[in-house]
Amino acid sequence: MHRLLAAPVLLLSCVAIARSQEPCARCHPAETAAFSQSPMGRSVGPPTVFAEGRIVHKLSGTVATIHQRGPLLEHKLERQGMVAEYPVAYSVGAGIVGYSYMVRLGRYLFQSPISYYTQTKSWDLTPGYETEPHLDFTHQISSGCLFCHTGSVNFIAGTANQFGDPPFTPITCERCHGSPAAHLTKPVPGSIVNPAKLAPNRRDSVCEQCHLEGAVRVLNPGRDWWDFQAGQAAESVFVTYLRAAPGTLRAVSQSELLARSQCVRRSGDRLWCANCHNPHANEPNRAQTVRRVCLSCHGDLFAAGRHRAADECVSCHMPRIRPTNVAHSAITDHSIPRIPRSQPADEGDADPEPKAWREPDQGLVRRDLGLAYFDLAASTHAAPDLYQAYQILSQLPPQQRLDPTVEADLASVLLAEGHTDLAIRMYTRASAQEPSNARYVYCLGTAFERAGKMEDAIKELKRSVGLDPSRPDAYLELAQLYRKAGLEAQSRNALREYLSFMPQNIQLRLPE
């Protein structure tokens, strides 16, 4: 069944890519042709790498193999005689560092645990899967996952992770220039966004929406990632928080590294990404392009004898450096060091407080900071972060504490501290405000379980499954609840129900 789905899915993707540039190409054929070959223009599509390979997940002993079957690329996992195998539906990335992959299961997309790393021409585990005790196709694709690799998403109405056909469109001119509607009606200067003519924070936001990852990002109230449009300040939709951590370097750190450079600091906001990066032009010799930009400020460097003659600047002043969160890769050091080095200099000691890249409106500063602390605690399990999250969120004005995201995060802290009744009330209010949010309902079910209210717990966990049958947590929690109550048949049925959705899941098919 899954193999039959793949070919039409790939066809739809190719058609969407071809059609997406048509309005702009009629008047700007050279620019759109160049963009289609740029990294942004090639950020998602059908697989292009068909090399076969084999890797082993050390923690579980799972063997992953990659092979081609006709026109399809297939990813296969094997453990203790159990097999999970899917055709790849989409390739993600332009291949500068590598490619990750998505498989499709009905209306849902999942990230494959297998990625290809182009710099070493090797297959290995996808970042995020390395530390998991069981290897499966379990990382679900949602809105935030696709924000930086696609131009739009096509969700089934009322859902946040169920996709129509095609599930998304590729990145187009709109990503940097906004809606073309007014421009198509009356194509005059000023009828479309020109990033170079925006105020610095709005200009830089065009690039930072994807090239500034930070430690965590927080959506403002009622916002979605896709609310951001070129011409806006990113912090009007979401806030990116940085956290100093000596010895670490993220693969997506170009914007923060560039901001550290003396070139940017002394340029008075004149230097920005588009001085060196032009998505409208094919640049076969990038080093010479960058050298021209450098000489626009340092034109007398060689004549004055302050620098030896050089054909290019990049190898010394923008060397390749290795990120700590993505294996088999190297990125360009955008901090532009005066003296060549193998890694960018640390910006002081570790700072426990996350710093906003740019603050949101004053009324949201504390709210967003508290949510940032909570998200950091969720990933690091650091008690101080959780404490700070509670201290900030619990002291917000009453109206802000009724924000469903704030209520749910506070409820999680209270539940961890044993305040089950209060947590139940807060999860109930959060799920009432967002009735389709399966995660809130799942958390409400676990709170009822902690309170010993098993009937209510079962009811809410089943409701969570009904809202989103793709997430295993609710099934596993139900199975455990039934087992504790001595209801072995119901426990097995809960697991079978998940396997009816994802029949190839290895972990739940292994003998106990």
Q: Which of 170-179, 229-238, 316-325 has the lowest mean pLDDT?
A: 316-325
Q: Is residue 19 scored above 80 in pLDDT?
A: no
Banded model confidence at residue 346, pLDDT cuts 50, 70, 90: low
Residue 247 — left, alpha, or beta (φ > 0 → left; ψ -120 to 50 → alpha)?
Answer: left
Distance CA 470, CA 140 (A): 8
pLDDT tens sequence across 43-80: 999 998 889 999 999 999 999 999 999 999 999 999 99
Question: Sheet holding 53-57: strands in order across?
Answer: 53-57, 62-69, 72-79, 82-87
Q: What is the percentage of the chain residues whose pLDDT exceeds 70?
A: 94
Nearest to 289 by CA among 319, 311, 265: 311
Residue 345 or residue 500, greater confidence: 500
Q: How far apart are the first and last CA of the chain?
A: 28
What's at 263, amino acid-wise?
C
Q: Which of 284-288, 310-314, 420-424, 468-472 has the lowest mean pLDDT?
A: 284-288
Q: Is residue 14 scored above 60 in pLDDT?
A: no
How many helices (H) and strands (E) the chain has is answered by: 20, 18
pLDDT for the residue 392: 98
Q: Which of 39-43, 147-151, 248-252, 339-343 has the lowest mean pLDDT?
A: 339-343
Q: Is residue 7 scored above 60 in pLDDT?
A: no
pLDDT tens sequence across 258-275: 999 999 999 988 999 999
CB 45 within 8 A of CB 14: yes
pLDDT for the residue 218: 98
Pairing of strands 139-140, 108-111: antiparallel
What's at 312, amino acid-wise?
E
HSE-CB at 83 with a 13 A cutoff on CA atoms is: 7
pLDDT for the residue 318: 93
pLDDT tens sequence across 371-425: 999 999 998 889 999 999 999 999 999 999 999 999 999 999 999 999 999 999 9
pLDDT tens sequence across 115-167: 999 999 999 999 999 999 999 999 999 989 999 999 999 999 988 899 999 99
Distance CA 490, CA 115 (A): 38
Average pLDDT over residues 324-352: 77
Q: Is residue 290 scored above 70 in pLDDT?
A: yes
Task: State the chain's mean pLDDT as an integer.
Answer: 91
Instruction: Classify 143 as helix, strand or coil.
Output: helix
CB 498 within 8 A of CB 475: yes
Distance CA 117, CA 327 (A): 8
DSSP letter string, 287-318? HHHHHHHHHTT-TTTTTTTSS---S-SHHHHS
